[in-house]
Amino acid sequence: MGASCLCCACVSTGEVGVVERNCKYNRLGLPGITLMCWPFEAMQSRVSLRIMQLDIRAETKTKDNVFVMVYISIQYQVIREKVFDAVYRLTNPQEQIRAYVYDVVRATLPRMFLDEAFEAKDDIAHAVKASLQTCMGTYGYSILNALVTDLEPDLRVKAAMNEINASKRLKEAARERAEGEKIVQVKIAEANAESKYLSGVGVAKQRKAIVDGLRESILGFSGNVPGTTAKDVMDLMLLTQYFDMLNLVGNNPSTNTVFVPHKPALAQNGEEEVGDQVRNGMLQAQSRFAHARTGR
């Protein structure tokens, strides 16, 4: 039998070493220096106890037959008490995790519509984590978290979704703009109604004041001038207002008004009389305008 000797191996913090004796599991090598009896003992591997992350892409389709790419991040860790299972029971733990994730995703998403899938990202993540914890726990792995980081449909589907969303936004904007214009029109109509009401009130008050003034003038004139009647006073006031109106029209430089009686004389030669009335009216207007300019 050959001679044996002591040898050592260093294990980093956050790792454990798996020591085999005669090709059989013997013990764990803790962080630091581990002594072994060579050639009977050897450190078969070092297992990291740090938290590791595995990024997975899984393609599947939704209930409305839209293919999507699902991006999932799995955070896992080797259980210290189950290092033996983690080393000796699984050949490739990452491929095992991928297989379970594919199975869960392709069993969950086909039951959802595309819009529901975007809203149910947390539900998908919980389903993946629950399945992995049950399966990978027996192999010495703890699943700390499962995150659905993105759902990416086909570019044409994404463009169609953006167009639908833009159309909805434009429709809402048009509805809000129309509602605003409606409010403005209603307020303008209310303001016009209020303005016309106040204008009517003002005209009514003005006419009442004129009537009151006329009544006082008629009473005063009848009392001071004996033998006059109310009709005489009214005729005189109407004549005065008529001349006031002529004065205002004549003083306006842009006046082109012709004064004729309110209706033509009814006679056999009515057309000639209408012509004479128009001509006389124009002459009267010109005479009044010249009188207004010269002041004589």
Q: Final residue of a domain: which of 107, 132, 153?
A: 153
3-state SS of the chain is CCCCEEEEEEECCCEEEEEEECCEEEEEECCEEEEEEECCEEEEEEEECCCEEEEEEEEEECCCCCEEEEEEEEEEEECHHHHHHHHHCCCCHHHHHHHHHHHHHHHHHHHCCHHHHHHCHHHHHHHHHHHHHHHHHHHCEEEEEEEEEEEEECHHHHHHHHHHHHHHHHHHHHHHHHHHHHHHHHHHHHHHHHHHHHHHHHHHHHHHHHHHHHHHHHHHHHHHCCCCCHHHHHHHHHHHHHHHHHHHHHHCCCCCCCCCCCCCCCCCCHHHHHHHHHHHHHHHHHHHHHHHHHCC
Please tell me the pTM assigned to this model.
0.52
Q: Final residue of a domain: which of 101, 131, 153?
A: 153
Q: Final residue of a domain: which of 120, 153, 186?
A: 153
Residue 233 lies inside a defined structural domain of this protein: yes
Same domain, 37 and 61: no
Encode pLDDT of 194-226 as tens digits. 888 888 888 888 777 877 776 677 666 666 666
- Segment 158-163 shows an average pLDDT of 76
Number of folded domains that form the chain: 3
* Residue 41, domain extent: 5-48
Residue 70 lies inside a defined structural domain of this protein: yes
**Where does the pLDDT of residue 1 fall: very low under 50, low under 70, confident under 90, or very high at 90 and above?**
very low
Residue 167 lies inside a defined structural domain of this protein: no
Encode pLDDT of 15-67 as tens digits. 888 887 888 888 888 888 877 777 777 888 888 889 999 999 988 888 888 88
Same domain, 37 and 66: no
Mean pLDDT of all residues belonging to the chain: 79
Q: Is the pLDDT of residue 266 over 60?
A: no
